[in-house]
Amino acid sequence: TLAIILIYMKTAAAVDDLVQIFITWIRKIEGQAKCKLEEYRLLQANKTDGFVLLLYNTLLALKNNDAEHDKIKAIEEHLGGKADDILEQCEEYLGLTGENHIAWMKKPYQNKRHVILQLLDNLIILSSSADKSIEKALKFIQHYRHSHKEWIELGQDDIQPDLSLLSGGWFKTVTGFKNGKEVIVKKINRQYYEIAVFTVLMGDLSCSDAYVEGAFSYDDPNKQLITREQFEEEVDGYCDLTKLSKEPARFVGSLQARLRSTAQKVDENYHSNPHLIIDQGLPILKKLPTKKEHPELEKIRKLIMDTMPIINIVDVIVDVEKWLSLSMNFKPLSGYETKIREYPSRFVATSLSYGCNLGPTQTERSLLKFTRKQIAWLFNHHITEQKLIKVLRLLINRYNLFGLPRHWGAGDSVSVDGTFWDMYKQNLLAAHHIRYGRYGGVGYYHVSDTYIALFSNFISCGVHESVYLLDGIVENDSDMQPKKVHGDSWAQSEVLFGFASLLGILIMPRIKHFKHLNYYTASSKDHYENINELFTEKPKEWF
């Protein structure tokens, strides 16, 4: 039984790796194409200046001449009889907008096409919803994979492509038509259709709209859902726990009551709030005034620093090991007791090496007691993710017993944010970060208001961090159970807001583009004296 479980888990992990390789390849092809497009745009900068100058002269001609005949004559003089050439150049330049990095995806895709198709041969990809367009598109690609024709005539057999999953830019490139609703497509570009489908598939696999049979992380998300019978058994207990009504009308009524109460409170306090202004229906927030530091703050800071002794980080790790005996939790994978001499000391060296990101070689130079091979061997043979989680839970629970952190926070809220980490390019998680301009990954941390990290996760660059926000709440099984999450604009998600409310979790991110959001009243009959223009007149559906 253990052997079967091991084989199953290793196979599922291998399938996950194949899916991640596919996503990384397509994302890299797309990134290379966008870089090529930007380079081309820079090369066309002189053309852009020429177009702006031509527009400027045209507007001057219209402004400086009164008669219609004189205006037309002045414009023709500026065009110099090259209207057709200028029109052609404008059409070429306008092709650089929108999704027109597509044209640069063909060459890098051709270099990877054979291995991508081989990779997909080993995966059974299915749709997790009623929309089977991606399955139909993949079937069409497999049918014509050995074709050498650039354009494939449609209607010759029963296997037809699904064009509904193509966006406007892709549809034009694949079919040659701009509008997909009123045209009859008789042929499609084979390679561009493959690239388009694989780009859509990359997104579907990332958001679980598609899944891979036999995978673990990319398996069918519907398997995680409970049955209807189990739902009926547990819904009453869930509603009692979350204080939510099981009846739809009462549930919606409670949401309307909360919204109405909040709106009334904001309306009553509008004039006493100097930081909020509503101008032509748009909310405007003023900057908070800078808080002035207390004149005695620097003196108190100096007194505290003079009292605090300078502690070596190694001494801190040694003290924690003496108090909690953390090394006892890192036994060999066989389950037997360790036979390594001076195991606690070697554990301290390993903790310093990898916990402070020094590395075994630098740690060997600093401690002069253990070799880099001894430090690395302990990490590679005794440290596992499950053991680390167990030790972290132990540390958090002991930390929670101290009284000082309670002066910093109540322990009922966390802050979430990501930190960029450099990585080697040849890594499944490594991706190019648009802000930092180099390859790496993102460490996503949940830090308690008592200043201790409760959970951490390592994610790829470019993914929306809100997808991983609830992991730190659901998977945190320590004594500290926060119910309030603060974050930046990456923690903003409409789906996350709805799902978190059902879990009794309050999400408080920095709202991006809050001016242009739609604000609704609980009822069309509700009217407010001060903030009424803030609310939209668009209809809302509560059921």
pLDDT tens for 133-155 read: 899 999 988 888 888 888 888 87
Beta strands in 389-465 (DSSP E): 413-422, 431-432, 439-448, 453-460
SS3 string, 192-215, reads HHHHHHHHHHHHHHHCCCEEECCC
Count CA within 13 A, CB hemisphere, residue 448.
25
Residue scoring higher pLDDT (57 or 488): 488
**189, containing H or E segment:** strand 187-189
pLDDT tens for 379-391 read: 998 988 889 999 9
For the ranges 98-102, 205-209, 479-483, the lowest mean pLDDT is seen at 98-102
Q: In the predicted model, is pLDDT for residue 398 greater than 80?
A: yes
pLDDT given at position 10? 92
Residues 150/154/160/164 CA torsion (nearest 10 deg) = 80
pLDDT given at position 93? 60
pLDDT tens for 39-93 read: 777 776 666 777 777 777 777 777 777 777 777 777 777 777 677 777 766 655 6
**CA–centroid distance for 467 within its chain:** 6
Answer for the pair 495, 230: CB distance below 8 angstroms, yes or no.
Answer: no
- Tell me the residue type at 220: D
- Tell me the residue type at 218: Y
Q: In the predicted model, is pLDDT for residue 451 greater than 60?
A: yes
For the ranges 128-142, 332-346, 395-409, the lowest mean pLDDT is seen at 332-346
Answer for the pair 182, 191: CB distance below 8 angstroms, yes or no.
Answer: no
**CA–centroid distance for 475 within its chain:** 19
pLDDT given at position 402? 93
Rounded CA-CA distance 268/270 in Å is 6
3-state secondary structure of 354: helix
Residue scoring higher pLDDT (16 or 541): 16
Q: Which residues contact 445 (CB under 8 A, 6 or more apart)?
A: 416, 417, 418, 419, 453, 455, 456
**Average pLDDT rounded to a whole number, residues 408-415:** 92
Q: In the predicted model, is pLDDT for residue 235 greater than 80?
A: yes
| Sign of the dihedral defined by the CA atoms of residues 144, 150, 156, 161, in that order | positive
pLDDT interval class at 180 (50, 70, 90): low
pLDDT tens for 186-217 read: 888 888 889 999 999 998 898 888 999 999 98
pLDDT given at position 91? 58
Q: Dihedrals φ, ψ of 179, to 5°?
A: -105, 130
pLDDT given at position 429? 75
SS3 string, 3-57, reads HHHHHHHHHHHHHHHHHHHHHHHHHHHHHHHHHHHHHHHHHCHHHHHHHHHHHHH
| Sign of the dihedral defined by the CA atoms of residues 143, 144, 147, 153, in that order | positive
Q: How far is CA 227 from CA 230, 232, 234, 502, in A?
A: 5, 9, 11, 18
Rounded CA-CA distance 473/475 in Å is 6
Q: In the predicted model, is pLDDT for residue 94 greater than 60?
A: no
Residue scoring higher pLDDT (415 or 430): 415
Answer for the pair 171, 180: CB distance below 8 angstroms, yes or no.
Answer: yes
SS3 string, 263-311, reads HHHHHHCCCCCCCEEEECCEEEECCCCCCCCCCCHHHHHHHHHHHCCCC
The per-residue pLDDT of the chain, averaged, comes to 86
Q: Dihedrals φ, ψ of 202, to 5°?
A: -60, -45
pLDDT tens for 285-319 read: 888 888 888 889 999 999 989 998 888 999 999 99
Q: What angle do CA 491, 496, 499 make, to 5 degrees?
A: 150
Q: In the predicted model, is pLDDT for residue 181 greater than 70?
A: no
Count of C-beta atoms within a 10 Å radius of residue 169 = 16
**284, containing H or E segment:** strand 282-285
Nearest to 441 by CA among 466, 475, 418: 418
Rounded CA-CA distance 403/450 in Å is 10
Rounded CA-CA distance 337/328 in Å is 9
Nearest to 208 by CA among 118, 126, 87: 126
pLDDT interval class at 261 (50, 70, 90): very high
Q: What is the pTM of this model?
A: 0.71
- Tell me the residue type at 88: E
Helix axes 168-175, 190-206, angle to 10 degrees: 150
Rounded CA-CA distance 457/466 in Å is 12
pLDDT interval class at 98 (50, 70, 90): very low
Answer for the pair 187, 152: CB distance below 8 angstroms, yes or no.
Answer: yes
Q: What angle do CA 182, 187, 189 make, to 5 degrees?
A: 110
Residue scoring higher pLDDT (24 or 75): 24
